[in-house]
Structure 1
Amino acid sequence: MRRVMDIDLRLLRVFVAVAEAGGYSGAQTTLNIGSSTISLHMSDLEERIGFRLCDRGRHGFRLTERGRLAYEEIKRVLTTLDDFTGRMAGLRKRLAGKLLLGMVDCLSTHPNFPLTAVIRRFNEMDNDVQIELTVAPRMELERAVLAGHLHAAIVPYLRPINGLAFRPVFRERHELYCGQGHPLFEAGATPISRAEIVDYDFVVRAYNEQFDLSRFARARTPATVSSMEAMLVLLLTGGYLGLLPDHYAQDWVARGLLKRVYSDEFGYDSPHMLITATAAKAPVAVSTFISLIDAHVAEVPTASG
């Protein structure tokens, strides 16, 4: 196999785009080149590295086992190169490179959500930084930051994790909700006992299942979701009870389609943190972004949304 320096970086970026798009067709928009050109680039890369990266056929596109491992390594190399570009620009007192950020879904309606204001401030600085923002489940974001695929992400805090630093950002209030047509929709603001509430069907969150099941002990849980958006869809059917952040539910409550189910036992505050890798030396663009996050949090009240 040739040395990495002998392999055109464009070929590596083509492969990453293909892997993340799940095939040649999906990568065309990202790369702004045709499928036949992508195929030529992929063949060239496979010839240079000496093994097959992916299979295409009647069963669809898939990475080979070595292709999957190569993707992880190439992604790490490209992130390192982007960080190097940023550090070199930092020596010229100019922000450059990439800023790779992540967040869980349905945070943008929180009154203390920091990313919009912080990125606006960041973009007011003289910079040549490419920002990429990923929305994904908490565990996926934690793994991405640990692996160096993301520089930072905003996630709910559950426990300390070796290799990750946690910065408090805001707190999110979760309450029990039901949709129009549910028997408890007209219950009013008088607290309802747990014994009455657990007679109804609940939705649990796959990414927080043990936590939900502990709160809904002895209740029926015939539905599972993997995002807040999916939780909202099921609650709007009127057939279930489930937990939603107040800030995300409030528009639907105002429209008369959702209602909070009042109980002293189900609501809770979820602290959200900015996570970064402790082992990584942050490029100037990343350290600048983190300092803006810290300044924003210091300026904004810490009440739950």
Structure 2
Amino acid sequence: MLNRLQESDIKLLRVFYAVASCNGFTAAEPVLRMQRPNISAAIKKLEERLDLVLCHRGRGGFQMTKEGEVVFQETKRIFNSFDNFVFNLKSLHDDYSGHITLVMMAGLPLSYHLAVSKAVKSTMKKFNDIHVNIQTRLYNEVEHVALSGECHLVLSTYDMVKPESVTFHPVEVTCSGRLYCAPSHPLAKYREGLPSSVNIEDYPAIGISGLSSANYISEDTRMAIQT
């Protein structure tokens, strides 16, 4: 059982954090820049240190245990505290560095994606030691990650509860997109536009076209994009 956190434990927790965030060993390889056998060995060593089984891996795929979920959430809090400490310390010298985690609601229009791409590129160009981690989450998960402290910024059109612990900033970005639906959908017959008598809210499963997270920023090793 772990009685005191050592530097080697922090390294093992970072491996576990990446594997859990990527939901698998294979997906975590490019993030960690480690091969699967080394990742597996690190997880096994961490489990021995904690005297816990953190995850199951095999033919059934990757799956965290209940104990693993708890360790994952606590690890998030530890690393967020580390990042905030470094970020605040560097800000005293106007030399910002560290990791910024931005969570975007899945399905946002193209204009939002382009605005994020422009802002992230500008930030990373100005500060050479800023690393950006962009994640996409379903609309019903966005509020949870904002309130739990799992990320630094959230971009969403979802009308969240506004607690004092979260600061809201309106994004001055207009958005437009095309509605899409299956050929069998009642609205599919309106190919040239919807008449004024049609109320979209009366119809289920309406989506707005946009880009996948892979199109945010390409060929930048400081980017980590998870979906």
TM-score, structure 2 as length reference: 0.74
Aligned AA for 2:16? F
Output the aligned Cα RMSD. Answer: 3.1
Unaligned stretches of 5+ residues in structure 1? 198-211, 225-241, 249-305
Equivalent positions of 1:1-305 (< 5 A) are: 1-5=2-6, 7-107=8-108, 109-110=110-111, 114-162=115-163, 163-170=165-172, 172=175, 182-185=188-191, 191=196, 193-194=197-198, 215-216=201-202, 221=204, 224=205, 242=206, 244=208
Measure the CA separation in 2 of the matches of 1:43 and 1:168.
Answer: 45
1:126-179 CA-partner distances (Å, limit 9, x unpaired): 441101111222332221121111101111142433243221114546886668
Measure the CA separation in 2 of the matches of 1:22 and 1:117.
Answer: 28
1:176-223 CA-partner distances (Å, limit 9, x unpaired): 66688943325x6763x34xx8xxxxxxxxxxxxxx7xx31xx6x5xx
Alpha-carbon contact 2:56-2:62 (below 8 Å) kept = yes
User: Which of the pair is proportionally richer in strand?
Assistant: 1
Q: Which moved more, 1:135-144 or 1:33-42?
A: 135-144
Aligned AA for 2:21? E
Q: Structure 1 residue 108: deviation in Å?
A: 5.7
Alpha-carbon contact 2:100-2:133 (below 8 Å) kept = yes
Unaligned stretches of 5+ residues in structure 2? 211-227
Alpha-carbon contact 2:109-2:175 (below 8 Å) kept = no
Aligned AA for 1:103? M
Give the count of matched residue pairs.
204
Alpha-carbon contact 1:103-1:135 (below 8 Å) kept = yes
Q: Structure 1 residue 40: deviation in Å?
A: 1.4
| Largest Rg, 1 or 2 | 1
Measure the CA separation in 2 of the matches of 1:120 and 1:29.
Answer: 21
User: What percentage of residue pairs aligned between the two structures are identical?
Assistant: 27
